[in-house]
Amino acid sequence: MGSQHILVTGPAINERAVKLAEANGYSMAYVPPYTSEDDLVRMVADVNPIGVIVRMGRFGEPAIAAAPSLRVISKHGVGVDNIDVDAASRREIPVVVATGANAPSVAEHAIALLLATVKRILPLDGGLRAGKWEKPGFSGKELSGMTMGLVGFGAIARRTAALAKAFGISLRAYDPFAEDSIFREAGVARDNTVEALLAASDIVSLHCPLTPETRNLLDDRGLGLMKPGSYVINTARGGLIDEAALLRAVASGHIAGAGIDTFQTEPPASDHPFWSEPKIVVTPHIGGVTEEANARVGIDAIEGILAVVQGRELGREKIVNFRALQKASA
């Protein structure tokens, strides 16, 4: 019998997910959050897992090579930019993602960041606590009648669009990989270029994966295409935004504010320049970290591993590296 261990790159997963793994004969091992690569490789070699659930930090080729029994890598969520997918494919190891499992939670967080940013909740709260009564001369903004542009139109973006409609926000989206029918069913206008979407939106909300093509999507040029006084929301990946460019655009007033849940480097430095800019609302990459989402994502992550090692079809989970998929289904 091969390895009966599943390794989690993080301190825990949902208790129901753990019980599911144990009921199928697997024991769990855990790696401290954001462990160094050398320590991660050592831990992987010690455990020699049959499956790895990637939560926090990068899981690269040295870690993949350290586990000869490894048959599947399962992402605790959907973003695989912290997994060396190419290295996994070369070893014919499927990489599985939990599609849509955290969509309600992340979409709600995107709307929370939008409300906090546009309604200027944090600076107004801080001013009031500092003894200021800023009602005289104050002028806020209504969400109703604004246009939100969604970059990417997967499960999270579609859920965000549904919530935004309740505020009277007009929706448009850009996603070159989605079918036209998805836009029609959601009642969302389709833009054929990301440039057209940026130029037409009062709010740009990012929901696409981080790839070489999307890295620094919102740089000086991308931000410059946006309307003066518009807003940026990012609950996807930090690398989609050139953080220095965003800071310049906010400082100049071209971008009125931003709600940011993800960063180029995580965790960000203690002296990150965003901390001194009150128009940028920040949270520590917790959009999908709710009790409900953790249960769904954790169970899906385990189910993905079990489906691959037991030779079953996947359910809501999907394999993202197609070479490995061909091998797994052969």
Which residues have a catalytic role annotated? 237, 266, 285
For residue 207, which of 93, 307, 111, 330 has the smallest C-alpha distance?
111
Angle at which helix 121-129 crosses helix 103-118, to 10 degrees, equals 50
Token output for 134: 């800023």
Token output for 48: 């020699």
- Residue 61's H or E segment, with its range, is helix 61-65
| Phi, psi of 245, rounded to the nearest 5 degrees | -65, -40
- The number of CA neighbours under 13 Å toward the Cβ of 244 is 0
User: Which residues, including other chains, have CB under 8 Å from residue 97's CB and lie 6 or more apart?
Assistant: 74, 75, 77, 78, 80, 304, 317, 318, 320
Give the span between the Cα atoms of 151 and 176, in whole angstroms.
10
Give the span between the Cα atoms of 83 and 101, in whole angstroms.
19
Give the span between the Cα atoms of 6 and 27, in whole angstroms.
6
